[in-house]
Amino acid sequence: MDSMRRMNAYVKLNFQRCLSQGKTLVICLCLAVFFYLYFGDVRGGLMESGQKIGIMEMFLVVTNNMYTSFTIWIGFVLIICDIPYRDDGVYQYLLRTSRRSWLWGQIVYIVAITVIYFAYIFLLLLLLIVPQVTFQTAWTTTFVKMINAPFGYGISNYFSFPVSVMRQTTALQLFGRCIVLCMMIGMATGFLTMMLHMLWPSGPGIAIGGIGIAMDYWATVVRVGVTSKYLLFISPFSMSRVGNLSTTVFNRVNPTFSYACLFLAGMILVPLAVMNLKIGRYAYSE
């Protein structure tokens, strides 16, 4: 019980530091403004036509659309790039606890901040379309119409979704896969960033996320040369886009959902193992 209480204390301490940083509030506000401007008067378009759209469909399209996906992951990288927080006060606090409690506190914090971040994205999308929202698990005809003619619903920006994927799986199945992948990618990014800081305390924490976003950009936007095809198999952020994954056993060009989960699990386990080995010699203060 004492170790659990000490771990929770570190999680609480990390959240206090995260919220005390001005950049966290700025990022949240920028995301809200971005989605409001990007989707325009989508609520008005839905109300005018008397139609409703699934919230799961909206979440799938923003995580698959290259512009909105880049924005979401850039915001996440900026929030977690300081992990773990280091200052002189941490060492004094550590004297009353243990290194293992500190490590578990960082791990739980990374998992929690990932869940909260994507819950915030989900809430923003919900506020954009409420009350013209439905929670049905099947694809809505409104979503299909919106893909073909987004301007009719007040959306003047790029808005697309692979119809071929919709023919293979239901909205609920894809939403579940997308949530799992986003959670795993967020945790892997956080753990790798923390591992970098434990091995190189003064290193650039944004490097891990920056490399991931660059790989995603090359694999899904540039698409030049044969390397872009193989990048889909090693680019974690690209795997969060359901349109980049294979939906049938006959498609061996793109990675499958099972492969993505195994690859991301490896990206999670490796930094955890390194941090576990490093924890005994880690310096907590500057």
Q: State how far the alpha carbon of 174 is from the alpha carbons of 165, 179, 187, 237, in Å.
A: 9, 9, 20, 16
pLDDT digits (tens, 9 = 90+) for 222-260: 765 556 678 888 889 988 888 888 765 445 677 888 999
More confident residue, 115 or 144: 115
Among the listed residues 120, 121, 75, 242, the one whose alpha carbon sits nearest the alpha carbon of residue 175 = 242
- Quickly state the pLDDT bin for 107 (edges 50, 70, 90): very high
Report helix, strand and coil shares of the chain as percent, to nearest 5: 75, 0, 25
Across 136-159, average pLDDT = 86
More confident residue, 25 or 283: 25
When mean pLDDT is compared across 5-19, 67-81, 86-100, 138-152, the lowest value belongs to 86-100
What span, in angstroms and rounded, lies between the C-alpha atoms of 37 and 42?
Answer: 10
| Res 121: pLDDT | 96
- Quickly state the pLDDT bin for 80 (edges 50, 70, 90): very high
CA neighbours closer than 13 Å in the CB half-sphere of residue 266: 7
| Res 83: pLDDT | 85
Give bridge partners of residue 53 from the DSSP assignment: 133
